[in-house]
Amino acid sequence: MEKILVTGASGQIGTELIKALRVKYGKDLIIATDLKVNDSLASGGVFEILNVLDKPRLEELIINYDIKIIYHLAALLSATGEKDPILCWNVNINGTLNVLELALKYNLKRLFIPSSIAVWGSGIPSTNTPQETVLQPATMYGVTKVAGELLCDYFVAKYKLDCRGIRYPGIISSETLPGGGTTDYAVEIFYEAIKNNRYTSFLSENSTLPMMYMPDCIKATIDLMEADFDSLIHHSNFNLASMSFSPKELAEEIKMHLPDFEMEYAPDYRQAIADSWPQSIDDSSARKEWNWKPEFNIKTMTKDMIEKLSVKYKLGEF
Ligand code: SER
């Protein structure tokens, strides 16, 4: 089996992807990397410090561990990206370029480079947004994701590099908090609901956005990486959907479990970002090309989140 390196392993998706990859392929084959030491990742397997802008260090890790596959998750998200757009461009684009360049140099077998719903902006149908449509993002994060998709597809076409990616919707999870995204409210709300029975949303009540529960996100990521390359028509830009809801709809669902839960709304600068994104997505290409099918909906996700976080809260973990 090939060795797999994951960048941004301490992030929301990274922590759970590492766990899943270690279970699936064995912990010695998975090299988790991030900017700072992560004791919990390090205690369960291999962990190395890596800043994705440090190309010599990335090269050293590829050589030392004989890496054949990279999941490149390190990136700045939409809200953080708007606070420092130049840093966002630098990390997201130059980090990706380093991975692509070294993948060519060392003949890597496969790359996963994620994209996002942030690739969309004006000029799209906001419901059931098609796979093929204009990409006019309103954020620097979106600009880097569009450029990232194009870069990957260029490397696929020009060098036959096997590079794959998904346009992730907002991801909801109970393990690691997301950092700096516009969809983060849909995670924070659960922590606050369990702790304080109330939450003030930074998006307005009717801001419907595409979302996905982490188990589906991990399944989609690994399934796409295991799909037969010849059956893929798209590569780096798969639309992916599972559920769409507004803050108000999520609050109502939470109230089914916690009847005293109260929600308030104080939209901030992230509202404009949310307004530029679609409400729902047509993911028929992913369904056709690699049999994507989600398992969770708002009801099953909410029940599971509340159960998992209630246990963590009782254990004093937040
Ligand atoms: N969850 C991301 C964000 O909000 C979207 O990909 O920035």
Query: What is the CB < 6 Å shell around ligand 1?
Result: 77-78, 116-118, 141, 168, 170, 181-183
Phi then psi for 310, rounded to 5 degrees? -65, -40
Structure tokens at 101: 């360049």
Distance of CA 137 to the CA centre of its chain: 17
Looking at residue 122, its pLDDT comes to 94
d(CA 62, CA 10) in angstroms, rounded, equals: 19
pLDDT per residue over 176-218, tens digit each? 999 899 999 999 999 999 999 999 999 999 999 999 999 999 9
Ligand 1 atom nearest residue 182's Cα: 4
Domains of the chain: 3-170+212-239 (3.40.50.720), 172-211+243-277+296-314 (3.90.25.10)
Structure tokens at 294: 């989600």
For the chain, what is the mean pLDDT?
A: 97
Ligand 1 atom nearest residue 77's Cα: 7
Low-confidence ranges of the chain (pLDDT < 70): none
Looking at residue 172, its pLDDT comes to 98
Residues contacting 288, CB < 8 A, separation 6+: none
The number of beta carbons lying within 10 Å of the beta carbon of residue 310 is 16
Question: 78 CA to middle of ligand 1, Å?
Answer: 6
Residues contacting 23, CB < 8 A, separation 6+: none
Phi then psi for 248, rounded to 5 degrees? -65, -45
For a mutational test of ligand 1's pocket, the pick from 92, 144, 167, 184, i.e. the residue with the most ligand atoms closer than 8 A to its C-beta, is 184
Contact 162, 156 (CB under 8 A): yes
Looking at residue 1, its pLDDT comes to 84
pTM above 0.95?
yes
Bridging pattern class, strands 166-168 and 198-201: unpaired
d(CA 246, CA 77) in angstroms, rounded, equals: 20
Question: 211 CA to middle of ligand 1, Å?
Answer: 10
